[in-house]
């Protein structure tokens, strides 16, 4: 994120002696993105974070691709993904490419007996249903309905839910997830025209260094393979840290919509970006105020991007038969727009209560076998009058 934060105890100067009450040295760890050339944090551990005592046979988690190439509007009923008891087992990849994986999950319980680290990708977990606490080596992040949890790759975490009713929309990015560059000053501050600011970003809190020694398993994903690696010290043994690289929470309800006299294009809704994709938030807002305005979006051609929308809640005046948790995919190469009758129906409307997350990718998405199991096959014909 574009601002500096610190939590717990840290030494006055980096890379200098920082001693425990018993006189021993704390173990400093540099946690960085893109080598040593981008944002980083420095963490101070009670024990070295390298104490591996055992490894297990790896497990292949690579998505099972059903269709690599296609040119057809698609729709998937996300809430048809069946709940699964365990957090990692609940994660179902549905649309993927080399830049990003789109994952749905309905976990009934969080992570208790192990820790998880995605060493492949940053994660953006959108909480559609449920609440709880994300516990990390940086501290804790309480979360609830409408929260984006942005977790840098390599972050060790556990997630704890308050009950069994949870629905998550997850974006795994193989590049850092960041605010759009046009929202930032040359020094990294979110500018006045940005639809959110640093006050809306919730950094970790309640850092409590764990001192236990024993056998702590960290399930670590790298290149689509899950490795069970056992360590001799609790991974949350951090007494303090500072820097610019850390997990954070941001609520979609804190996104301030940008409106105009006529219909505004999707970039005004942009919230985050990565290499070759963007994330947008569609939130309740006033419609256009030109006397001849048409609130419904105009037909547009996806020439060089795939457009994915995850529908959260509210009424969607441009679409028929929208359900909670539905995903629509409009691939690059063919135009799409409002369903028949939606344009005339929208005229005179003053506001919308819709809530949705959009992901536009600039390389085509592939469809997994799990996605075919929840597909609405009639969607492609839904523009017929």
Dihedral class, residue 321 (left if φ above 0, else alpha if ψ from -120 to 50, else beta): left
Q: What is the percentage of the chain residues whose pLDDT exceeds 70?
A: 99
310/298: higher pLDDT: 310
pLDDT in tens, 207-217: 999 999 999 99
- The b-or-e profile of 150-183 (16+ CB within 10 A means b, else e) is bbbbbbbbbbbbeeeebbbbbbbbbbbbbbbeeb
| Cα-Cα-Cα-Cα dihedral sign, residues 257, 259, 263, 266 | negative
pLDDT of residue 49 exceeding 80, the answer is: yes
C-alpha to C-alpha distance for 269 and 98, rounded to whole angstroms = 24
C-alpha to C-alpha distance for 203 and 221, rounded to whole angstroms = 24
pLDDT in tens, 15-27: 999 999 999 999 9
pLDDT at position 302: 80
C-alpha to C-alpha distance for 176 and 105, rounded to whole angstroms = 22
**Cα separations in angstroms, 180 against 12, 21, 279, 356:** 33, 44, 10, 19
Cβ contact 93:120 at 8 Å: no
Known binding residue 242? Answer is: no
Range in 10-24, 132-146, 148-162, 298-312 the model is least confident about: 298-312
pLDDT at position 94: 98
C-alpha to C-alpha distance for 109 and 178, rounded to whole angstroms = 29
pLDDT at position 179: 95
* Structure tokens belonging to residue 51: 């104490």
Dihedral Cα 80, 226, 205, 310, nearest 10 deg? -30
pLDDT of residue 1 exceeding 70, the answer is: no
Q: Which residue has the tokens 């997994």?
A: 368
| 356: β partners | 282, 311
Q: What is the percentage of the chain residues whose pLDDT exceeds 90?
A: 81
Averaged over 66-90, what is the pLDDT? 95
pLDDT at position 321: 79
pLDDT of residue 286 exceeding 70, the answer is: yes
C-alpha to C-alpha distance for 286 and 288, rounded to whole angstroms = 7
pLDDT of residue 318 exceeding 80, the answer is: no
Q: Provide the terminal-to-terminal Cα distance of the chain, rounded to the nearest Å.
A: 47
Cβ contact 224:120 at 8 Å: yes
pLDDT at position 282: 94
Exposure of 129 in the CB half-sphere (CA atoms within 13 A) = 18
pLDDT at position 344: 85
pLDDT of residue 385 exceeding 70, the answer is: no
Known binding residue 230? Answer is: no
Residues annotated as catalytic are 263
Q: Which domains does the chain have, with CATH numbers?
A: 50-64+81-237 (2.60.120.10), 253-381 (2.60.120.10)
- The CA-based angle 369-102-132, given to 5 degrees, is 115
pLDDT of residue 203 exceeding 90, the answer is: yes
pLDDT of residue 2 exceeding 70, the answer is: no
Known binding residue 253? Answer is: no
pLDDT in tens, 246-259: 999 999 999 999 99
* Structure tokens belonging to residue 317: 């005046």
DSSP for residue 269: G
Averaged over 47-51, what is the pLDDT? 96
Q: What's the whole-number average pLDDT of the chain? A: 94
pLDDT at position 139: 98
pLDDT in tens, 333-367: 998 888 888 888 888 888 889 999 999 999 999 99
Three-class SS state of 371: helix
pLDDT in tens, 146-188: 999 999 999 999 999 999 999 999 999 999 999 999 999 998 9
């Amino acid at each position: 994120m574009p601002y500096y934060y610190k939590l717990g105890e840290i030494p006055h100067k980096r890379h200098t002696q920082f001693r425990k009450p018993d006189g021993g040295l704390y173990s400093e760890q540099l946690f960085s993105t893109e080598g040593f050339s981008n944002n980083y944090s420095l963490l101070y551990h009670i024990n070295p974070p390298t104490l591996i005592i055992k490894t297990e046979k790896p497990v292949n988690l690579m998505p099972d691709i059903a269709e690599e190439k296609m040119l057809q509007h698609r729709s998937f009923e996300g809430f048809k993904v069946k709940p699964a008891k365990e957090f990692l087992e609940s994660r179902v990849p549905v649309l993927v490419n080399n830049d990003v994986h789109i994952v749905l999950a309905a976990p009934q319980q969080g992570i208790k007996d192990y820790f998880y680290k995605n060493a492949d990708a940053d994660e953006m977990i959108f909480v559609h249903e449920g609440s709880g606490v994300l516990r990390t080596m940086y501290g804790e992040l309480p979360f609830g309905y409408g929260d984006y949890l942005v977790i840098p790759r390599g972050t060790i975490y556990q997630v704890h839910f308050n009950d069994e009713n949870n629905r998550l929309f997850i974006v795994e990015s193989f590049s850092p997830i960041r605010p759009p560059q046009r929202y930032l000053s040359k020094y990294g501050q979110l500018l006045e025209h940005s639809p959110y600011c640093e006050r809306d970003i919730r950094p970790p809190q309640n850092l409590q260094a764990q001192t236990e020694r024993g056998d702590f398993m960290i399930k670590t994903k790298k290149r689509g393979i899950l490795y069970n690696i056992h360590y001799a010290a609790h991974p949350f043994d951090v007494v303090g840290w500072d820097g610019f690289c850390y997990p954070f929470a941001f609520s979609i309800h804190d996104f301030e919509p940008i409106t105009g006299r006529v219909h505004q294009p999707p970039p005004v809704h942009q919230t985050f970006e990565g290499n070759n994709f963007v994330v947008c938030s569609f939130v309740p807002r006033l419609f256009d105020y030109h006397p001849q305005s048409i609130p419904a979006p105009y037909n547009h051609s996806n020439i060089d991007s795939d457009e994915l929308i995850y529908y959260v809640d509210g009424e969607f005046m441009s679409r028929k038969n929208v359900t909670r948790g539905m995903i629509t995919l409009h691939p690059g190469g063919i135009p799409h727009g409002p369903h028949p009758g939606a344009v005339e129906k929208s005229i005179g409307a003053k506001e919308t209560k819709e809530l949705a997350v959009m992901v536009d990718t600039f390389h085509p998405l592939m469809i997994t076998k799990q996605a075919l199991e929840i597909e609405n096959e009639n969607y492609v014909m839904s523009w017929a009058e």
